[in-house]
Amino acid sequence: MQHWQKVSQTKPKLLLVDDQRVNILVLHELFREACEVFMATSGEQALQLCRTVSPDLVLLDVCMDGLDGHEVCRRLKADPQTHDIPIIFVTAKGDEADEVHGLELGAVDFIVKPINPIIVKARVNTHLTLKRQSDTLRSFGLLDGLTGVANRRRFDEALALSWRQCRREQRSLAVIMIDVDYFKRYNDHYGHLQGDSCLQAVAKALSDVIKRPHDLLARYGGEEFACVLPNTPLSDAVQIAERMQANVEALSLEHLGSEIGKIVTVSLGVAAITAHHAIEPQALVEEADRQLYRAKQAGRARVCSGTLAASLPSE
Cβ contact 125:57 at 8 Å: no
Rounded CA-CA distance 248/22 in Å is 54
Can you tell me the mean pLDDT for 140-146?
89
Cα torsion angle, 145, 146, 150, 152, sign: negative
Average pLDDT, integer, range 273-295: 93
Q: What is the pLDDT of residue 2?
A: 38
Q: What is the pLDDT of residue 12?
A: 94
Asked whether the predicted pLDDT for residue 8 surpasses 60, the reply is no
pLDDT at 276: 83
- Integer angstrom CA distances of residue 229 from 122, 167, 215, 234: 39, 14, 5, 10
**How many angstroms separate the CA atoms of 208 and 83, rounded?**
30
Domain boundaries, the chain: 3-140, 152-311
Strand-pairing partners, residue 178, are 225, 268
Residue 37 burial (C-beta neighbours within 10 Å; 0-12, 13-18, 19+): buried
Q: What is the C-alpha separation between 175 and 110, in angstroms, rounded? A: 42
> 191: alpha, beta or left, given left = phi > 0 and alpha = psi -120 to 50?
left
* Verdict on whether the full-model pTM lies above 0.75: no
Give pLDDT tens digits for 291-314: 999 999 999 999 999 887 544 443
CA–CA distance, 193 with 191 (Å, rounded to integer) = 6
Q: pLDDT tens for residues 217-240?
A: 999 999 999 999 999 999 999 999
Catalytic pick among 96, 99, 169, 223: 223
Overall CATH class of domain 3-140: alpha beta
Active site residue 223: yes
Those residues whose C-beta lies under 8 Å from the C-beta of residue 242, and which sit 6 or more positions away, are 303
Q: What is each CA distance from 37 to 17, 100, 129, 192, 252, in whole angstroms?
A: 11, 28, 16, 48, 45
- Higher-pLDDT residue of 251 and 95 is 251
Least-confidence region, from 89-103, 107-121, 144-158? 89-103
The pLDDT of residue 9 is 54
84-98, 157-171, 259-273: which has the highest mean pLDDT? 259-273
Residues 177-205: tens digit of each pLDDT: 999 999 999 999 999 999 999 999 999 99
Say which CATH superfamily domain 152-311 falls into.
Answer: Reverse transcriptase/Diguanylate cyclase domain (3.30.70.270)
Q: Report the distance separating Cα 144 and Cα 261, nearest Å.
A: 29
CB 304 within 8 A of CB 291: yes
Q: What is the pLDDT of residue 278?
A: 81
